[in-house]
Amino acid sequence: MAEPQYSKNHTIDPETGFLENPAYSNQFDAQKKKAFLDLYYENGLRIRRTCDQLGMSVDTVNRAYQTDKQFRQLYDDLKDRYLDELEGVSRTNALNPRSVIERIFQLKCLLPEKYGQENRPTSMNVTINVDGKALEAIARRQEVIDIEPISENATTP
């Protein structure tokens, strides 16, 4: 990702390292960013729910993600931490004899060469052996079709 561009009006919060723009009265300052990240994790990475609870827009978070290197790093770290927790729960649940679906997903993930989709053929070659009599019958049928004209007054039997 390219280095974010921001104006000289931006400052870095010394405590959090978050980028701030004091020119905006309703800003997404360091304390709000920290509150967002804490609640975002508690909400299971549900961004809309978190924004609604904090009375802010998703665009505000997306803009901060694009411009604030420290916020982006912590946001990505939260995602990695959450996914690690989720994966751990999934692996634990896969060992439950009743969790067949969970086990299938884990096996496909951990052993794709054995259980993954790539082991299923996407196409197959089919060989058809035709003897001479079948070819003669096809040729005779073609002659009959070519010879039998259909008249305009023909009725169907």
Residue with tokens 């751990």: 88
DSSP 42-106: HTTS-HHHHHHHHT--HHHHHHHHHH-HHHHHHHHHHHHHHHHHHHHHHHHHHTSTT-HHHHHHH
Cβ(36)–Cβ(61) below 8 Å: yes
Distance CA(70)–CA(5), nearest Å, equals 14
pLDDT score recorded for residue 5: 52
Question: 38-90, pLDDT tens digit by residue?
Answer: 999 999 999 999 999 999 999 999 999 998 999 999 999 999 999 999 999 99
Calculate mean pLDDT across residues 152-156.
61
pLDDT score recorded for residue 152: 65
**Does residue 96 carry a pLDDT above 80?**
yes
Calculate mean pLDDT across residues 12-27.
68
Q: Where are the domains of the chain?
A: 11-119
pLDDT score recorded for residue 122: 65
Rounded to two decimals, the pTM is 0.56
pLDDT score recorded for residue 155: 62
Which amino acid, 51? C
Which CA distances in Å does 58 have to 12, 18, 64?
A: 22, 18, 10
**Does residue 157 carry a pLDDT above 60?**
no
pLDDT score recorded for residue 153: 64
Q: Which residues lie across from 19 on neighbouring strands?
A: 12
**Does residue 148 carry a pLDDT above 70?**
no
3-class SS at 123?
A: coil
Distance CA(106)–CA(93), nearest Å, equals 10
Distance CA(56)–CA(27), nearest Å, equals 10
Cα atoms in the 13 Å half-sphere on the side-chain side of 26: 5
Is the pLDDT higher at 119 or at 17?
17
